[in-house]
Chains A and B, each alone.
Chain A
Amino acid sequence: AQSVTQPDIHITVSEGASLELRCNYSYGATPYLFWYVQSPGQGLQLLLKYFSGDTLVQGIKGFEAEFKRSQSSFNLRKPSVHWSDAAEYFCAVGAEYSGGGADGLTFGKGTHLIIQP
């Protein structure tokens, strides 16, 4: 069965500092990997996705993530955080459905990002 582990429940970063959120996955086949962000009381917004090819993917809001197959990881990074980045971040794994189309996503438990002034 597939699973996603986000080892850090909370992370505190100073505004302007760099950020790295960790994500490890377990999946039998080549996974599709995603990072979503959730602000309080809101739904999930897609930050970026990885399907294949270049292992460094760029997303919205200045975020990027690197897929490392040997480490089963897909860590999210940002060179300089802004106070508006404070939110809950979720890593998710899925795949193309065997019958074609989309597959139900498996999410990690999330990392709560706190930005210090």
Chain B
Amino acid sequence: DAGVTQSPTHLIKTRGQQVTLRCSPKSGHDTVSWYQQALGQGPQFIFQYYEEEERQRGNFPDRFSGHQFPNYSSELNVNALLLGDSALYLCASSLVTTKNIQYFGAGTRLSVL
């Protein structure tokens, strides 16, 4: 049974560019959450998708957007990249009927130069 998978593993972009990160949830899960983890910090909640809609959002600007597909996989898009967007981006999946038990992928390391 595959866990949460994320791609790519690493990514290097320059300021102003746009990036798309991808996540496949754990088998049977229907909810995907995205987190940003800056170096030396704990993860910060970006947003959550369920039934192909954004149902909850953390304190992140509109440059951060997402999408969930009918197969429950998800994308995170970041526009107009800033140096401060350099971080590890983590995807977590869960099942709506469970009590917030989120399982995390290994993350995508984004470096903005």
Contact = CB atoms under 8 A, between A and B. Distances in A.
Which of B4, B31, B42, B55 counts the most A-chain CB atoms under 10 A from its CB? B42
Interface in B18-68: 31, 33, 35, 40-45, 47-48, 50, 55-56, 58
Interface residues of B, number: 31
A94 B33 CA distance: 13
B97 to A, nearest CB: 7
Contacts, number: 79
A interface residue count range (under 10 / 10 to 19 / 20 to 34 / 35 or more): 20 to 34
Interface stretch (B70-78, B79-87, B104-112): B104-112
A101 B97 contact: yes
Contacts of A42: 106-107
A71 to B, nearest CB: 21
Contacts of B103: 46
Contacts of B43: 44, 90, 105, 107
Given A43-B107, A44-B90, A97-B55, A102 B42 contact: no
Contacts of B11: none
Contact of A102 (B44, B58, B100, B107): B100
B39 to A, nearest CB: 11
A interface SS class = loop
Interface of B: 4, 31, 33, 35, 40-45, 47-48, 50, 55-56, 58, 90, 92, 94, 96-107
Interface of A: 4, 32, 36, 41-46, 49, 51, 90, 92, 94-97, 99-110
22 contacts: A32-B100, A41-B106, A42-B106, A43-B90, A43-B104, A43-B106, A46-B103, A49-B99, A51-B99, A92-B42, A101-B31, A101-B55, A102-B33, A102-B48, A102-B98, A102-B102, A104-B45, A104-B58, A105-B45, A105-B100, A107-B42, A109-B41
